[in-house]
Structure 1
């Protein structure tokens, strides 16, 4: 493990829940980095001792393990718990989901971005094993079933094709939320090796200047699994400064199943948390924005119901669709606040 000269001190926070083998795999990829963290904080919400035991058996430099009490369990609570315990000299705070494996120069690419863009308050990495893009160059006229951005194209899913036909497609580039939300995530950015300005990042592959946490924390509205907590937080950060995604800071995300909610609860969270994030972006939406948000929400729910007959995971599709339906109806008498 060879460390080149660096000018920014940085802390790595890994929040985990019942995934000891995933944490070990991630830490082994951290150990191979060309730039190693000044400290690693494992914030463990597990209800057993398996993660603690595996870290006792496998030692890593500068690692600090914290088993959080029950009242601090949940992704956003655990992140805030970790932030309170970083070293006072840390300039950058990095977050990684526990089911990730890094390319060897991930941190080096990430920190170099802060030097190239000194105004950056946050920088995100790029999940390369979820990219479905193909380089086609410019000029290029995309087909109806294609999404085109910066010389790269990818096939559109059925939901985006339908939204285009119904005039409900997002009017923003990837990483930005429209006034009626339902935009394209940074996952739609191409693997170009470039750095793109955004207003939203994925929390599990993110980093921020430590000064951000003097005024902002992760919202505890997002309980447990914390779906869309990253969109909420980064939208709030982008209101006070600039955010970027460096597609040269590469990693793989393997989506471990353990620790995830059931499909019904997931469906409810998609709608209710989505409404919450929409209002963070646009607290006073116009009538047109309201109509579009609800129209897209209903359309996506209908598509999920049809997946009951078009996919092999019929039960999961049906229960998620029911959860989305109940989540939408609940907005009429119990809006998130």
Structure 2
């Protein structure tokens, strides 16, 4: 019998106290209990939420190690790294604060890790369930979305999936540019052949779990200060270079996608492309190759967002405008030295969040003020 492993939950949260409590409640009700729960909260009134969580949830589960801290700096990657530094469990669940686990989610994920006799599996993610895990009431407002993948029409579903993946580019694999030129290729080991698992190239940020030592070796990129596409892709791809990433269809999780604490569509679109440029600048083993791939992909994304903004009747086309703005500013990323990039990109993000538009150019990066995130 393989050794039993412990698992812990690390949650980075911001202004989502309503859904956070439900997320934590479902975590402690898992059929396989966590050994620790760590919350890093960047909210304005984090002390109030901490008091509520400790009184209403933690007090009923003293066997669990609880840590609830204020964020040193606001930002999903930074908060996750802060939580990881405090984690001690063998397996770390890095879920979103609006990720709602089905009762056996943790048990099924741990089953995969414990069956991995060769130790080649570095991460496991659940599948996404379209409905809530039980008859629970969510006192929160979901993010507004347009047409989504659950709305397949019988008879043309395969055509819809093609459009979804290749025209709308709504598949993370298409959006990730591997820093080594291609993704690692792994085969599922024989010790896992009896489980419902499949290899994946990268992880979806709301449902990631890792061996703690693997994600500690490849922490979240500290230059990506705010939530946007790629912080999860970047970290999971870097981990995949050390070992296999799997998805298990026996573990289920519902991503509620709370609207609270979100940035505007325009800002997220700018950051999604700029973050990718920054990660390529820092990690690519062939920057010329990947810079060209970045521009080609971003132009394709502009075309895709024209359709998506239009079909969703967003007539200001915020996502299109965001990507066009990123195309304008991303050449700056590829020109900067490492030191200039580390100074300039936090400033760029701070100004974008504060004003709703990127800072004007030209400015000399080395003379710009350091970003203050709090």
TM-score range, shorter chain: 0.7 to 0.9
What is the aligned counterpart of 1:160 among 152, 160, 166? 166
Cα separation, 2, equivalents of 1:173 and 1:158: 13
TM-score normalised by L of structure 1: 0.76
Confirm or deny: 8 A CA contact 2:280 2:287 kept in the other structure: no
Confirm or deny: 8 A CA contact 1:123 1:243 kept in the other structure: yes
Alignment of 1:20-59 (within 5 A): 20-49=17-46, 50-59=48-57
Alignment of 1:46-195 (within 5 A): 46-49=43-46, 50-60=48-58, 61=61, 62=64, 64-69=66-71, 71-87=72-88, 90-117=89-116, 118-129=119-130, 132=150, 146=158, 155-157=161-163, 160-161=166-167, 194-195=196-197
Deviation at 1:223, TM superposition (A): 0.7
Confirm or deny: 8 A CA contact 1:159 1:303 kept in the other structure: no
Q: 1:14 to 1:292 in 2, by over 3 A?
A: closer
Q: Which has the higher helix share?
A: 2
TM-score normalised by L of structure 2: 0.69
What is the aligned counterpart of 1:258 among 253, 257, 260? 260
RMSD: 3.6
Gap regions ≥5 residues in structure 2: 131-147, 184-194, 342-374
Cα separation, 2, equivalents of 1:21 and 1:253: 14
Alignment of 1:234-313 (within 5 A): 234-277=236-279, 282-284=284-286, 291-313=292-314
Cα separation, 2, equivalents of 1:236 and 1:295: 22
Partner of 1:323: 322
Cα separation, 1, equivalents of 2:270 and 2:20: 28
* Per-residue Cα deviation, 1:3-35 (whole angstroms, up to 9, x for no partner): xx9811111111111101111111222232110
Confirm or deny: 8 A CA contact 2:77 2:222 kept in the other structure: yes
Cα separation, 1, equivalents of 2:245 and 2:282: 17
Q: 1:83 to 1:238 in 2, by over 3 A?
A: same
Secondary structure of 2:248's aligned partner: strand
Partner of 1:150: none
Partner of 1:227: 229
Gap regions ≥5 residues in structure 1: 137-141, 148-153, 164-168, 184-192
Confirm or deny: 8 A CA contact 2:94 2:207 kept in the other structure: yes
Confirm or deny: 8 A CA contact 2:11 2:97 kept in the other structure: yes
Q: Which has the higher strand share?
A: 1
Q: 1:160 to 1:77 in 2, by over 3 A?
A: same
Deviation at 1:174, TM superposition (A): 8.1
Cα separation, 2, equivalents of 1:229 and 1:333: 20
* Per-residue Cα deviation, 1:244-302 (whole angstroms, up to 9, x for no partner): 11122111001111121112211111211233455677531665x65554233113213
